[in-house]
Structure formats: structure tokens, C-alpha cells
């Protein structure tokens, strides 16, 4: 069952965004705990794990739906920006950019 507020095709986008977040975190050599500490504890480990996994805890087929404040804080701490493309036919896409270039996922 897919999350009621998000379309099924958002799952792949959420997973890709999570891979990008994890990539930037690991590029710095940071643990999840370090990233949380750098954020001033604006989110917890469970939230970060959901974002990096791209899925909700209760259903691996349901995309995570992080709050805007979490997205903003992740971008601030990781030195990235997020582009939300709402013109895609299948929905929206979150893309992390660093120095104006797309962040790879692995």
C-alpha cells in the first residue's frame, strides 16, 4: 500500500534523494550521529534513516515524506541546495545540487 498523500511513482524519487543525502554525508566521512549533531539536533536518527532509505518505517513501498524544515536543514549542513521540479509528468523530483551541479547518488 502506498502512502495516501503521495503517488506511487514518488517512491523512486524519494530513494534517489536519500542516496544523494547519504552520499554527501559519507563524502564528509560523517556518521548519521555527526550529521545530526552538525544540524543542532534539528532532526533525529529515525528521521535521517527514513530520508536516507527513502521509505517510511511502516511500509517499505511507501515513500518518506520529510518536513520542509528537515530538507532545509539537510541542505544547510551538507552545503547543498534542493531543486523541486514540479513539471515532471510523473510528479516531482528532489535533486540535490552542490556548487550548482547535481549530486551523484553513489
- In this prediction, residue 66 carries a pLDDT of 86
The topology under which CATH files domain 10-102 is 434 Repressor (Amino-terminal Domain) (1.10.260)
User: What whole-number distance in Å separates Cα of residue 53 and Cα of residue 35?
Assistant: 15
At which residue does the C-alpha cell 552538525 appear?
38
With b for 16 or more beta-carbon neighbours within 10 A and e for fewer, the 48-68 pattern comes to: bebbbbbbbeeeeebbbebee
> What pLDDT, on the 0 to 100 scale, is given for residue 2?
42
The residues, ordered by sequence, that sit 6+ positions from 60 with a Cβ below 8 Å of its Cβ are none
The reported pLDDT for the residue numbered 106 is 66
pLDDT of residue 21: 92
User: pLDDT below 70 — which residues of the chain?
Assistant: 1-9, 86-95, 105-106
Residue ranges of domains in the chain: 10-102
Question: 9-36, pLDDT tens digit by residue?
Answer: 678 888 888 998 999 999 899 999 999 9
| pLDDT at site 7 | 63
Q: Is the distance from CB of 25 to CB of 32 less than 8 angstroms?
A: yes
Amino acid at each position: 500500500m502506498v502512502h495516501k498523500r503521495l503517488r506511487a511513482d514518488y517512491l523512486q524519487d524519494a530513494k534517489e534523494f536519500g542516496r544523494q543525502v547519504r552520499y554527501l554525508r559519507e563524502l564528509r566521512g560523517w556518521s548519521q550521529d555527526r550529521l545530526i549533531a552538525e544540524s543542532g539536533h534539528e532532526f533525529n536518527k529515525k528521521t535521517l534513516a527514513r530520508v536516507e532509505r527513502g521509505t517510511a518505517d511502516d511500509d517499505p513501498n511507501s515513500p518518506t515524506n520529510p518536513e520542509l524544515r528537515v530538507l532545509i536543514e539537510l541542505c544547510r549542513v551538507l552545503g547543498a541546495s534542493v531543486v523541486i521540479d514540479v513539471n515532471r509528468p510523473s510528479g516531482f523530483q528532489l535533486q540535490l545540487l552542490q556548487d550548482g551541479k547535481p549530486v551523484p547518488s553513489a
